[in-house]
Structure 1
Amino acid sequence: MEFAIEIARHTRLNFIKLIEGLSIEQLNVIPQGYSNNIAWNFAHIVAAQQTLCYIRGNAEPRLALEAITKYQKGTRPEDFITEEELDLYKEKAFTLLDDLKADVDAQLFNNYEPVTTAFGVTLNTIEDAVAYFSTHDNLHFGYALALRRAVLNIEQAAVHNFSAN
């Protein structure tokens, strides 16, 4: 389980590097053909970890419920995600991993409610949830990489069209 948490830590570090290379406006762009943006994907992975581990594990989440439900599965960006809000998720991305490790060690998750994921696998224990959310984080990092390419292509096309006139 510690290895899965380390994978998540590295994925989140790479995600933050991707975020820091873009403006807040770029992070909020939803390119044609997409249903969300880079900022939403990042906040989503932090929120999803709380849902998969704490809520399904019948433990008190370490993130405010509003901050979880705003980015849970099935949501979309409803408004502009500010730098301040994104900074909260960037900070929590790592502290929540540390909290999770401590809470697993303290055996806080004794009554896990099984759930079948979009991948078609059933999570029956906190150990299953930890293994899964690190995979889930990587999936959304991949989405963010594709979104980054689309956002930069939009800007390049706009510059090209402008200079062609």
Structure 2
Amino acid sequence: MEDLIFRHMETVRGITENLIKKFPEETADIVPEGFNNSIRWNLGHIAFIQEKLVFGLLGKESSLPEEYEEFFKAGSKPADWTDAPPSMSEIADELSKQKSRIRSFLESSMDVKFPEPFTNKAGIKLYTSGEAFLFSFFHEAMHIETIKLIYRKISSQ
């Protein structure tokens, strides 16, 4: 079953990685009316939250650059950025590297329980590393759809 889950991670992340290639860099930071965030923010947020769900909830250190938290944590937005964010290619590289780190870390340990259940903003409780990892696919898919909507809005203007 674990192999199936990791193949699914590859599929979901492959969709994200292919999406990055479709967007010109000049569209990465546009925040269209009706949105709070940009394409770049959504992609960095995917990487940051998956890192938090897989490693952070078990008290493990993140391998992402430190600035990812400030740029891409929940509640952040490009309007608050005072420094230059990572480039699209840097984010793409982190998303790609994250897959093998996750697989190495979670292989044979999807049933590891958190010290305390984690409750996300939607009120969903996660009890194990596997549950959090599976939830991360849903989270990534939501942001993939948001990215598509942002790009569609930008393209129609």
Partner of 1:49: 50
* Identity across the alignment (%): 19
TM-score, normalised via structure 2 length: 0.84
Distance 1:81-1:28 versus aligned 2 partners, 3 A rule = farther
Q: Deviations over 1:113-144 (max 9, x none)?
A: 42112343211110111110011100100111
Local SS of the residue matching 1:124: strand
* In 2: Cα distance, 1:110 partner to 1:52 partner: 13
Distance 1:55-1:71 versus aligned 2 partners, 3 A rule = same
Please state which structure has a larger fraction of its residues in strand: 2
Q: Tell me if 1:127 matches 2:130.
A: yes
Distance 1:109-1:68 versus aligned 2 partners, 3 A rule = farther
* In 2: Cα distance, 1:21 partner to 1:108 partner: 33
Partner of 1:28: 29
Instruction: Note if contact 2:36-2:77 (Cα within 8 Å) is conserved in structure 1.
Output: yes
Distance 1:57-1:2 versus aligned 2 partners, 3 A rule = farther
Q: Counterpart amino acid of 2:68?
A: A
Q: Which runs of 4+ in 1 moved over 4 A?
A: 79-82, 106-111
Q: Tell me if 1:6 matches 2:7.
A: yes
Over the aligned positions, Cα root-mean-square deviation in angstroms equals 2.4
Distance 1:4-1:145 versus aligned 2 partners, 3 A rule = farther
Larger-gyration structure (1/2): 1
Q: Which runs of 5+ in 2 are unaligned?
A: none
Instruction: Note if contact 1:27-1:39 (Cα within 8 Å) is conserved in structure 2.
Output: yes
Instruction: Note if contact 1:38-1:144 (Cα within 8 Å) is conserved in structure 2.
Output: yes
Question: Residue 94 of structure 1: CA displacement?
Answer: 2.3
TM-score, normalised via structure 1 length: 0.80
Q: Which runs of 5+ in 1 are unaligned?
A: 155-165
Count of residues in correspondence between the two structures: 153
